[in-house]
Structure 1
């Protein structure tokens, strides 16, 4: 099943009168999920297992093409940027968000709440697909010598629309996201080719497939689960998986063009 996220054309950001680092609208500020989980018992380490696997693509993906960045001379001095909707290597698919759908409640560890970093570097968002746990945060940076913008467009009520301008090497902007949501579009209004996707996982068991299509999820209590795979263009696949204590469950998922 194919699913395309439709995004309206963004008007170019007007530079005049804009103050660097001026947040038009902040992301949702949520209660500390670590505090809220204090009454949740920690699982017995002896009952934990892992999930590892690979995401495949059946069919030929569109070729990656160079992006015309001549609109901003500051973007033309580095290596060329290529489209990132389909990154495929030997039939393996990158940038797939993977999470355990029906995982049991576990205490939220401090590492889970460390803000993920998305950098605007070389006039692109790095990484292209990022994932955090529900209640977590993302720190957006600008490492480029040009004005950038972070414009998030969620649909869940707890995840506010955000429109933040960042000057060259400007102050990082940290945004919190309260509700689980897949593939939230992130855009730069100044550079319409710049885009990324943020995923807010409902459980602390998630990953994003790398350029070899591989992913790894650790510390999962033993049990039967549903593993969900989400791609920005190809939609969603659900795969059953059984996790056994002290073992690694090998799982694959295949998207089709």
Structure 2
């Protein structure tokens, strides 16, 4: 699924500021060290997109589309050994591979994009707080690897496996509750609310130490996650000046200043680089 933001076709000035690491990346690194695996999940396909904001005049809105590029040599994906639980191989899916860096033709997937600052009309835009996003467990991996919801939204945790899982979220922002709950084989859906804006909340399974995913919570209804081709879209932004954030689980956050014009569409690219 592709995601989107509205902006103007001629960006006169874009400034990109890179942060080598942040709290989310550090937490992910610590999790990796504890398990001996790279951060994993299921599929490089596009995760979720933001729902349209409600109550805004369509004539006053714009879009932003872009690509997340990756320069340098990406670490090779690692095959995950799930043999400790024979039920993990019963889903019939492909071999589980790490998804710390999902790069294809120089394009980077699983980057969370959101509005850090912008006009009051955007920052206070109403949205459907009942909206939910699915985080599935299949073949003993979480899929999608990275998801996002607007603050107040819900995540539906599902288990398609014939084995017991344990959903364990690790937020650091007050307002987001730590979840630590078992989910039986093909058990009932567990629906949890995320109330406070926060990037890259780790999710793991205490029963299967290689299982990792990330939940992102946006302050506004304007957000995206880059798909398998590194593409993102954010639609329906009120006209004005914005700062966008782009967050990767291991490479931290970059920011970009953009201008959105009513009825316009702007292409905005971010670039992440391999560690030297």
TM range (shorter): 0.7 to 0.9
Give the aligned partner of residue 61 of structure 2: 48
- Is the counterpart of residue 82 in structure 1 residue 100 in structure 2? no
Using the size of structure 1 for normalisation, the TM-score is 0.84
1:191-213 per-position Cα deviation (integer Å, ceiling 9, x unaligned): 00000000001111000000000
1:55-90 per-position Cα deviation (integer Å, ceiling 9, x unaligned): 001111100011011110111343210000000010
Give the aligned partner of residue 266 of structure 2: 249
Structure 1 residue ranges without an equivalent (≥5): 11-40
Question: Is 1:53–1:216's contact at 8 Å kept on the other side of the alignment?
Answer: yes
Using the size of structure 2 for normalisation, the TM-score is 0.79
Give the aligned partner of residue 177 of structure 1: 194
Alpha-carbon separation, structure 1, partners of 2:152 and 2:56:
21
Q: Map 1:69-108; keep pairs closer than 5 Å.
A: 69-77=82-90, 78=92, 79-103=94-118, 104-108=122-126
Question: Is 2:125–2:221's contact at 8 Å kept on the other side of the alignment?
Answer: no
What secondary structure, in the 3-state scheme, does the structure 2 residue paired with 1:193 have? strand
1:106 to partner: Cα distance: 4.4
- Is the counterpart of residue 109 in structure 1 residue 117 in structure 2? no
Q: Which fold has the larger relative contact order, with Cα–Cα distance below 8 Å and residues 6 or more apart in sequence? A: 2
- Is the counterpart of residue 129 in structure 1 residue 142 in structure 2? no
What secondary structure, in the 3-state scheme, does the structure 2 residue paired with 1:66 have? coil
Give the aligned partner of residue 58 of structure 1: 71
1:109 to partner: Cα distance: 3.4
- Is the counterpart of residue 5 in structure 1 residue 22 in structure 2? no
Select the residue among 134, 151, 155 that pairs with 1:138: 155
How many residue pairs match? The answer is 227
Question: Is 1:113–1:133's contact at 8 Å kept on the other side of the alignment?
Answer: no
1:42 to partner: Cα distance: 3.4
Alpha-carbon separation, structure 1, partners of 2:74 and 2:125:
40
| Higher alpha-carbon Rg | 1
Q: CA RMSD in A?
A: 1.7
Alpha-carbon separation, structure 2, partners of 1:235 and 1:145:
35
Alpha-carbon separation, structure 2, partners of 1:81 and 1:71:
14
